[in-house]
């Protein structure tokens, strides 16, 4: 091979060739020993030096891996050292004790042989730790169960024949028993490692497990049939170096990545249950066939570990269930109880038969949207956390605080006569905060329980309606001030139109409640309904009150009133959302409306509601063109135009939930159908 080829030879390639050579030597040794091939001299040479060369060569391969590769270096260094001690013990036996008759027992070779086990045990512990760093507690418990179960089965198979065959001095018996005991410990450790990984057999562990099983089997054969069966002893003599070859191969396999512990499922309990069943079967066999005290003790320990695993599983599941219930009923942002918890508490409160005087108050923050837009969502979330904590502290002497979502909060509390308003005022103060450039206040609506509501839905609807009414009446809000100016202007310019718009707003509010709109959406809907025709103040009276049909120019001018209304309202920042709805308040479901020709759900929901309410109010009010229609007749007209002018689903909702509950208004409407 040239220098270039030598340069390309990697450590892994060189070791693979080395292990291949050792495999060939072991195959030759097995052939000479088991067939046998050759004469006594050949068998002696192979039995002494080829055997020793294979064992020593594998130890060197493992030590070379520890030196050349950084990963898991300490673990493989420990295992390689243990294998080297075993090889030195074998070399001492071949050089000094091979022809001794009788050979001393125990001897220095036994000390070196037994030194392999603690070194291997420490190495395997290090390997298990490095490859199971992210294994959960239950996997470790499963590993303990697996180790004890496998050790119990192995003890039942190993100890009875070994104990029957042992004889001699107490020291000799003790040393002889040390081998299967040490094998048992290593097998239990490897079984625990495999169980910890849920027997996903990949990487080095299967080879290590096979090697240690061969060690244990060879030791049992050697101790139980020594001097009785040459063939069995020859098999054992092949098993030891074969086990070393497997350990060397395991050392040079690619290092397995540490895996994240997979999610626990119902099947996770299957493995410990299966191991427990094996142990139960073993103990049952022990009633018929002697299996030894060690096997029984290990079996009982395994069952106790299974019991501890089941108790731990039950405790964890109980904690998880409690945590899930807590999370399901808790608002993640503020830590207050959420809407689901409120509905459950309301249900229990209203179902209670005890005499009580309770109340529910619903709060909506005024100015929060502006705060969020000015300072960002993170600051808005932090504000909600502060206000939630403040509300909880304020209401704690009397009841419970909830966050329903967005900037809506709620309190459910017990009160004596005449104190409910004071308690709500205290809660309201907890939801207020001011700064140099912002002011957060709260509008609220209260309902007394059980006197004013019999179901949670009714209680929330009443409280929501009262809160919305208070919000609209706040004289200090920018929305209220701007609305007051515009409606005052409209009242002076078109008093009859002002009354008509009030009726439309009344119908829109009822429809919004039927749609279960939140407070913010309801506010926009009703304000837009009140002012959807505000742009008509710019239309000349001659056109606005013309008795006959309009010509094209006049029609175009009238159709601009929604755009005019949008411009007028958008000048007030607090009314910009209302302005968008006003622009679309005369769009038709089929796209034939104005000013943008929007169709279907492209039209804002509030605008679709206003068109229905406006048309119904016009038809049922006093008209300059003929008698007004009854509520039923007006609903029939709406249904005839559903799918063309109106949203058909909203028409049905209006007919079934609003028109039947809203009485025909007594005051006349002299509103233009245009």
User: Residue 664 carries which DSSP code?
Assistant: P
DSSP 8-state secondary structure symbol assigned to residue 229: -
Q: What mean pLDDT, rounded, does the chain reach?
A: 78
List pLDDT tens digits, range 283-293.
787 777 777 77
What strands, in cross-sheet order, belong to the sheet with 433-435? 399-405, 408-414, 358-366, 438-449, 433-435
What's the whole-model pTM score? 0.46
Q: Is 418 exposed, middle or buried (0-12, 13-18, 19+ CB in 10 A)?
A: exposed
Instruction: Please write the tens of the pLDDT for every residue from 22-55.
Output: 999 888 888 887 777 766 666 677 767 888 899 9
As annotated, the residues of the chain forming the CATH 1.10.3210.10 domain(s) are: 478-658
Strands (E), 406-551: 408-414, 433-435, 438-449
* Angle (deg, nearest 10), helices 137-165 and 270-286: 20
Residue 263: CB atoms within 10 Å: 7
Q: What is the average pLDDT across 77-97?
A: 89
Q: Where in the chain is the domain with CATH 3.30.70.270?
A: 339-467
pLDDT in tens, 542-558: 776 677 787 778 788 88
Domain formed by 478-658, architecture: Orthogonal Bundle (1.10)
SS3 content of the chain, % helix, strand, coil (to 5): 70, 5, 25
CATH number of 339-467: 3.30.70.270
Higher pLDDT, 96 or 230: 96
- What does the block give as tokens for 292? 């030894």
Structure-token match 């320990």, residue found: 301
Residue 207 sits at the vertex; the CA angle it makes with 232 and 226, to the nearest 5 degrees, is: 15
Please write down the HEC assignment for all residues of 317-328: HHHHHHHHHHHH
The DSSP bridge partners found for residue 445 are 362
Q: What angle do CA 648, 650, 652 make, to 5 degrees?
A: 70
Q: What is the pLDDT of residue 428?
A: 92
Q: What is the pLDDT of residues 163-209, one digit of tens each?
A: 555 555 556 666 676 777 777 777 777 766 666 665 454 567 788 88
Retrieve residue 342's tokens. 């409120």
């Amino acid at each position: 091979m040239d220098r270039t080829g030598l340069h390309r030879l990697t450590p892994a390639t060189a070791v693979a060739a080395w292990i291949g050579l050792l495999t060939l030597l072991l195959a030759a040794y097995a052939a000479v020993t088991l067939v046998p091939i050759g004469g006594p001299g050949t068998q002696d040479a192979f039995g002494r030096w080829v055997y020793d060369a294979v064992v020593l060569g594998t130890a060197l391969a493992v030590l070379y891996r520890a030196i050349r590769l950084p990963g898991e270096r300490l673990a493989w260094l420990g295992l390689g050292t243990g294998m080297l001690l075993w090889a030195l013990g074998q070399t001492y036996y071949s050089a000094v004790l091979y022809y001794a008759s009788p050979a001393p027992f125990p001897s220095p070779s036994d000390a070196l042989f037994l030194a392999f086990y603690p070194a291997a045990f420490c190495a395997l512990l290090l390997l298990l730790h490095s490859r199971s760093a992210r294994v959960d507690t239950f996997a470790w418990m499963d590993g303990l169960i697996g180790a004890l179960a496998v050790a119990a089965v192995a003890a039942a198979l190993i100890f009875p024949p070994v104990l029957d065959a042992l004889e001699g001095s107490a020291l000799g018996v003790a040393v002889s028993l040390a081998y299967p005991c040490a094998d048992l410990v290593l097998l239990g450790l490897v079984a625990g490692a495999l169980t910890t990984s849920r027997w996903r057999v990949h990487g080095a562990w299967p080879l290590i497990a096979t090697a240690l099983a061969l060690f244990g089997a060879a030791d049992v054969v050697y101790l139980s049939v020594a001097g009785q069966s040459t063939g069995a002893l020859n098999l054992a003599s092949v098993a030891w170096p074969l086990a070393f070859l497997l350990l060397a191969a395991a050392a040079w396999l690619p290092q397995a990545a540490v895996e994240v512990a997979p999610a626990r499922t119902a099947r996770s309990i299957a493995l410990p249950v299966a191991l427990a069943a094996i142990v139960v079967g073993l103990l049952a066999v022990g009633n018929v066939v002697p299996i030894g005290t060690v096997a029984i003790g290990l079996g009982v320990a395994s069952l106790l570990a299974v019991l501890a695993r089941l108790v731990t599983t039950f405790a964890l599941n109980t904690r998880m269930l409690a945590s899930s219930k807590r999370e399901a009923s808790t608002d993640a942002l503020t830590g207050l109880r959420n809407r689901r918890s409120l509905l459950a508490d309301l249900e229990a409160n209203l179902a209670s038969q005890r005499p009580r005087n309770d109340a529910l108050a619903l709060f909506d923050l005024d100015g929060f949207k502006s705060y969020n837009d000015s300072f960002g969502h993170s600051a808005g979330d932090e504000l909600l956390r502060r206000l939630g904590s403040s509300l909880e502290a304020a209401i704690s002497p009397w009841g419970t605080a909830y966050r329903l979502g967005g900037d809506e909060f709620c309190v459910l509390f017990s009160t004596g006569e005449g104190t409910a308003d004071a308690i709500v005022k205290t809660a309201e103060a907890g939801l207020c905060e001011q700064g140099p450039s912002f002011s957060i206040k709260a509008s609220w609506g209260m309902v007394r329980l059980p006197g004013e509501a019999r179901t949670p839905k009714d209680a929330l609807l009443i409280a929501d309606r009262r809160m919305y009414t208070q919000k609209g009446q706040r004289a200090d809000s920018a929305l209220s001030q701007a609305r007051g100016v515009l409606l005052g202007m409209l009242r002076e310019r078109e008093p009859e139109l002002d009354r008509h718009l009030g009726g439309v707003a009344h119908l829109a509010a009822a429809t919004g409640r039927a749609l279960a709109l939140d407070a913010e959406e309801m506010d926009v809907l009703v304000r837009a309904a009140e002012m959807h025709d505000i742009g008509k103040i710019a239309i000349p009276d001659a056109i606005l009150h013309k008795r006959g049909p309009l010509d094209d120019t006049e029609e175009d001018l009238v159709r601009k009133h929604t755009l005019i209304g949008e411009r007028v309202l958008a000048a007030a920042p607090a009314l910009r959302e209302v302005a968008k709805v006003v622009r679309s308040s005369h769009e038709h479901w089929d796209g034939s409306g104005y000013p943008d020709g929007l169709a279907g759900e492209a039209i804002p929901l509030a605008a679709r509601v206003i068109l229905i309410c406006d048309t119904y109010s016009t038809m049922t009010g006093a008209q300059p063109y003929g008698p007004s229609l009854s509520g039923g007749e007006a609903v029939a007209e709406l249904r005839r135009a559903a799918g063309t002018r109106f949203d058909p689903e909203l028409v049905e909702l209006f007919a079934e939930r609003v028109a039947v509950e809203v009485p025909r208004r007594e005051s006349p409407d002299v509103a233009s159908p245009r």
